[in-house]
Chain A
């Protein structure tokens, strides 16, 4: 160590001396478009949201100057019952959609992971809803949910032998969120299915062979080889699905507008209503800061969990 400090430090040659001007300018020119665009359209609005959140900024410029209001917006949000309802609703949505969507994705992945003819065709079919736009999904499910004579009601009534009355899927406060869960899970499960399939195919065949030699049946191989091998995949899928769930918006805006009785109000829908319809951009920015903090916490928890599972 001491020997090294005696030797005078040789100054690093500057980049221009090393590569010359033309190369330097070319590199800047190739990197700049991405950096400039991200600065304008991602970093600036992100930083601006913290500032706007502390002002009474309106959507359309007014003659009166924009005032700094400190944490007032945040205080008003935290005192608004509708905000807590929307937060509770997305939490509820998350807890329902996680088992339905990931469960269905996991089961289809297990089925498709077996050796069978036409496997690629089936995988393509199961993945089809995932490439369908949410707007189109809303048109389709809007008809499926028709009350009282839509297809889903038809199935429910005939399966129960007439014991269950037709359900007003989107109009009944007790059912509206359930309906949104069904539709959302159907649209998005393909993504989780593909992630699970990739995880299952990443488990080496030798482990299954070894388990077979040790006398493990299909059930034993599932519990002692497949499930432990999928632990990082489970964590990843759960976190991705949770973040998606907290951003729930499109299907709500199209099908229920947060109703009936605010039973499907969500954080993003609440934000858009405040900012766009009521024109209170400052207030809406404060909601978006809260949304960012929620997503950040989930992402940090994921990183923690992934590290624990040594991924």
Chain B
């Protein structure tokens, strides 16, 4: 997995609440058996018309946001299905940090498995960063995972919370299956005692 330590990038504003996983990556793109290549279909139905032409008004089609690395969005981002294709598409586009007031649970967890840092901030702070993002390519937002801070283009600093284990894995690009396998003895002994206690399982 790609590491995430610091990021200084253009932020794209998407001021909608309840952005769901069907919006992020519509179902017709879930038929892939790979993890890569979904960036071109990120927000597909908002990004392209019926003839597959770009819709110029959509934020990621605007020249100043084509290289965005951060997305600033509304409440409950990533609600809906468990499809990891959503963070795959976001990462494949080049976005590695999302800032929103809140996230759906499964999407939030999926981000950390794919080198994406989802940051939850109070609405007022998201509002400030949304305005910052609306300034376009000249307004770079800085994210420092180690320090757990975001710095707006005006130098305003916001702190954010992140689970210590998730932070550790993200900063070091760790494969958590490998980490869990180091605890195989615990799993073995749990399995042995559980099969005694609940043999019908």
- The finding on whether chains A and B are genuine partners in a shared complex, rather than unrelated, reads no
Residues of A at the B interface (CB closer than 8 Å) are none
